[in-house]
Amino acid sequence: MLKLENISYSVSDKKILDNISLSFSVGKKYSILGTNGAGKSTIGYLIMGLEDYKPTEGKIFLDGKDITQKNVYERSRLGITLMWQEPARYEGLNVYTYLTLGGKLDVTKDEVEEALEKVGLDPFLYMKRFVDKSLSGGERKRVELASIILLKPKYVIFDEPDSGIDIMSLDMINNIVDYVVSYGGTPIVITHREEMAYNTDEAYLLCAGKILAHDNTKKVIEIFKNLCNACDHPNVPVTKELKIDGR
C-alpha cells in the first residue's frame, strides 16, 4: 500500500497542498480529480519524489516503510513510475533502445512490437524513430504507455494521460490502466476530466490543495459535476470567498 499521511506542500509561503491524506491499495484503480490548478500534478510529483518536491509536512509510506526522504531514483527502483503530462524527449535514443532500457530489460523483440501495437503505433514505422522532438507529443505519450506495458511498475501515476492524445484513444488508455491492475500494479489517474476518471474504482476530489471528497468514483464524479462544474471560484478556498463578500 502507498500512503500519504497529512501532507502539506508550500512554495515560498504559497500552500499548494494542505494537510491531505490519501492511500492506494493493490488491486484497485484510483483517480485524483480536480479542476486546473487544484494541486493534482503536485501530488504526483511528491509521490515520485522529484527534486524540490519534498513535503513541507507529513510523510509518505510504501508498504509501511517511510520513503519521504528517498529520491526519485530510489523510488523508481521501488516500482513507482510517473507518466508525465508532457512526455520527456530523449535525444539520440531510439524507441527500441528506450523501451528495452538499452537492452537491459528482459523482453523479447516480439514483446516490444506487441506493446507498440497495443498503443496504436506500427512497430515497423516507429521502432527506430528517435524519442526526440521528431516525435509528436502524442506519439511520445504512446511510447511512454508502451514502456508501462513492458516495465510493469507497481504504482503508475498517469498525469493527464489523455492530454495530447485524440479522444478516440480513451479506450486504449483505459485498457492500459486495466492492464496495470491485471499484473498486480496500482494505477493512479490524475485528471480534470470525468470521462477519464470513470474507469477507476475510487477517486479523490481535490480543490485548492484540499480533499473535498473521497469515495467510489461514481459518487465523486457526481459531486464534481454538481460542485466543481458549476463553481464560479475554482480553487479559491471558501474562507477567502467569505472574506471577499464581507460576511
Ligand X SMILES: Nc1ncnc2c1ncn2[C@@H]1O[C@H](COP(=O)(O)OP(=O)(O)OP(=O)(O)O)[C@@H](O)[C@H]1O
Q: How far is the CB of 204 from ligand X (least distance, A)?
A: 12
**CB-wise, 23 or 35, nearer to ligand X?**
35
Bin 127: left if φ > 0, else alpha if -120 < ψ < 50, else beta.
alpha
Output the smallest distance, CB 28 to ligand X, in A. 22
Applying CB under 6 A, which residues contact ligand X? 11, 14, 16, 34, 36-42, 192
Nearest distance, CB of residue 39 and ligand X, angstroms: 4
Q: Which is nearer to ligand X, 99 or 211 (CB)?
A: 211
DSSP assignment of 159-180 equals: ESTTTTS-GGGHHHHHHHHHHH
Residue with cell 520527456: 88
- In the bound state with ligand X, the residue whose beta carbon lies nearer, of 36 and 239, is 36
Nearer to ligand X, 36 or 182 (CB): 36
Spatial neighbors of 158 by CB under 8 A, at least 6 apart, are 83, 173, 177, 187, 188, 189, 190
Q: Based on CB atoms, which residue is closest to ligand X, 38 or 143?
A: 38
In the bound complex, what is the minimum distance in angstroms from residue 19's beta carbon to ligand X? 15
Contacts with 15 (C-beta within 8 Å, 6 or more apart), sequence order: 8, 9, 209
* Run of H or E residues at 109: helix 109-118
Element (H, E) at 238: helix 238-245
Comparison of 84 and 126: residue with beta carbon closer to ligand X: 84
Radius of gyration of the chain (CA): 19
| Minimal distance, residue 114 CB to ligand X, in Å | 32
Q: Minimum Å distance from CB 218 to ligand X?
A: 21
Residue type, 190: I
